[in-house]
Amino acid sequence: MYKIQFLLLLTLLGPLVLFGQQPGKRQTAVSPSKTKSASQSKLQSGPMVGYSEMREVMLWAQTKQPAKVQIRYHETDNPSVNYLTNEVQTNRQTAFTAHLLADQVEPGKKYTYELLIEGQKVSLPYPTQFQTQPLWQWRTDPPTFRFGVGSCTYVNEPEVDRPGKPYGGGYEIFTALVAQKPDFMLWTGDNTYTREVDWNTRTGVLRRYTHTRSLPEMQPLLANTHNYATWDDHDYGPNDADRSYWLKPVTLEAFKLFWANPNFVFSEGCAGTFFWNDCQFFLLDDRTFRAPNDMPDGPEKAYFGDKQMQWLVDALTFSRATFKFIVTGGQIVNPTEAFENYSIYGTERNRLFKAITDAKIPGVLFITGDRHHSILHKLDRPGTYPLYDLTISPLTSSVAQPRADELKQPTYVANTLVTERNFGLLSVSGPLKDRVLTMKVYDQKGAEHWTKEIRANELK
């Protein structure tokens, strides 16, 4: 990191350094050198590929100082015809971020793109590609697709981290993840860790988001894989933060600046949804409406809250997706009343499970994070199909063990506990009437730990 005196001096000179930082003491990995072009030296982080639809794809980039940013793209199989996104003038007020819309695309195509800063191509040492979703409905079976899953991304910054052993590490996990070539990445919360130095100011929040996003090992995954995200306590606010967090409009602003989700269903919070082929993903916000953990359980103790709960049940009821993935930070199925599990909000938890049962909604599964270990829970329900909850955690944060009694719960699926840094890789394959979900868990080096298949016909 910059020395304090140097940072103060540069800040006085102008806006270009407020967010121009690199993770920890790793600047040299991405610092400008004499061999780099002027345009490349202006790039802070990204480019990142956001959501994918049939008629548009969103891309993202961040510069170190005010600059004009644009994406030039072409069909990978037809490089002779190029298109341009909108041009964005980045500025200090929005942390020099740019959302760039590729809206001259056709369904089911792969595209190669280039980032332009001040009209000059930025040369990058890894592929930069995106894809549009295919128009398969009424024509063919839905294609096979694969997506990565991960949560808890801590990037060290020694000057403001707690003393002692570094909490983050294993950044090579992103290299192992991108090697699997997922179609998209699902970030399930704690995607960055705000610290004491960040919680009370917009400047601190935007610096933290910038610091995490600038991790060199993360860049190839961002540039070549579509990315969708929801948050949990650490990217929302302090540890275990609830609806009382005083700066939540600012962290929501930061979330929207740094991610490129296709929609936000409420004016507050980050809840939204997206489709990939025949599957629908419900990105839930477990923080904005959340009552304090220590509040006695009862009808007034909200977790998702009435408004979000009503939307979710309505959207699940309306959905015709084969698999309906409910994605949120904290564990849902684990019945252990501890930590921040949904079980300590038992009244609302029972209400959600009952609503899914009463409405006879097929194909529901949960994907969660938070716990700093990975595990699969399965809740058997009389007269209907079981509810699965796949917890994947952590990516680069430190590891935590489950309590001994959690492994004695009837919901625990044996041999699925992973207590090291890891990620999930899920695939959906097969004909429409017999789709199969395959779940695999890999460690930070890319070694597979376990795999399990769930057929859609088992979730009816």
161 half-sphere exposure, CB direction, 13 A CA radius: 18
pLDDT > 60? residue 88: yes
Q: How far apart are CA 351 and CA 349, in angstroms?
A: 5
- Write down the pLDDT at residue 39: 74
pLDDT of residue 7: 35
Tell me how many helices (H) and strands (E) the chain has: 9, 21
pLDDT of residue 183: 98
Tokens 């860790």 label which residue?
193
Whether residue 156 has pLDDT greater than 60: yes
Select from 368, 451, 377, 374 the least CA-distant residue to 420.
374
Both tokens of residue 94?
């929005």
pLDDT tens, residue by residue, 372-389: 999 999 999 999 999 999
Tokens at residue 212, please?
């995490």
What element of type H or E holds 176? helix 173-179
- Residue 38: the pLDDT is 67
Task: Kindly report, residue by residue over 167-220, the tens digit of the pLDDT.
Answer: 999 999 999 999 999 999 999 999 999 999 999 999 999 999 999 999 999 999
Enter the tokens of residue 90. Answer: 């980045």
| pLDDT exceeds cutoff 80 at 107 | yes
- Mean predicted confidence (pLDDT) in 123-148: 98
Q: Quick one: pLDDT band at residue 37, thresholds 50, 70, 90?
A: low
What's the pLDDT tens digit per position in 231-268?
999 999 999 999 999 999 999 999 999 999 999 999 99
Residue 40's pLDDT band (cuts 50, 70, 90): confident
113: enclosing H helix or E strand: strand 110-117
Bridge partners of 228?
186
pLDDT band (50, 70, 90) for residue 82: very high
Q: Above pLDDT 90, what percent of the chain?
A: 91
pLDDT at 36: 54
Lowest mean pLDDT among 28-32, 294-298, 315-319: 28-32
State the first-to-last Cα distance of the chain, in angstroms, to the nearest integer: 54
Tokens for 393?
Answer: 């955690």
Q: Is the dihedral of CA 18, 24, 27, 29 positive or negative?
A: negative
pLDDT at 79 over 50: yes
Dihedral angle, C-alpha 13, 16, 17, 19, nearest 10 °: 150
The pLDDT tens digits for 314-373 are 999 999 999 999 999 999 999 999 999 999 999 999 999 999 999 999 999 999 999 999
Q: Is the pLDDT of residue 25 over 60?
A: no
Report helix, strand or coil for 41.
Answer: helix
What average pLDDT does the chain have?
Answer: 93
Set out the domains of the chain in order of their start, with CATH numbers.
4-131 (2.60.40.380), 145-458 (3.60.21.70)
Distance CA 449, CA 371 (A): 18
pTM above 0.85, yes or no: yes
User: 364 φ, ψ to 5°?
Assistant: -85, 130
Q: Is the peptide bond before 134 cis (omega within 30 degrees of 0)?
A: no
Q: How confident is the model at residue 24 (pLDDT cuts 50, 70, 90)?
A: very low
Amino acid letter at 24? G
Per-residue pLDDT, 18: 44
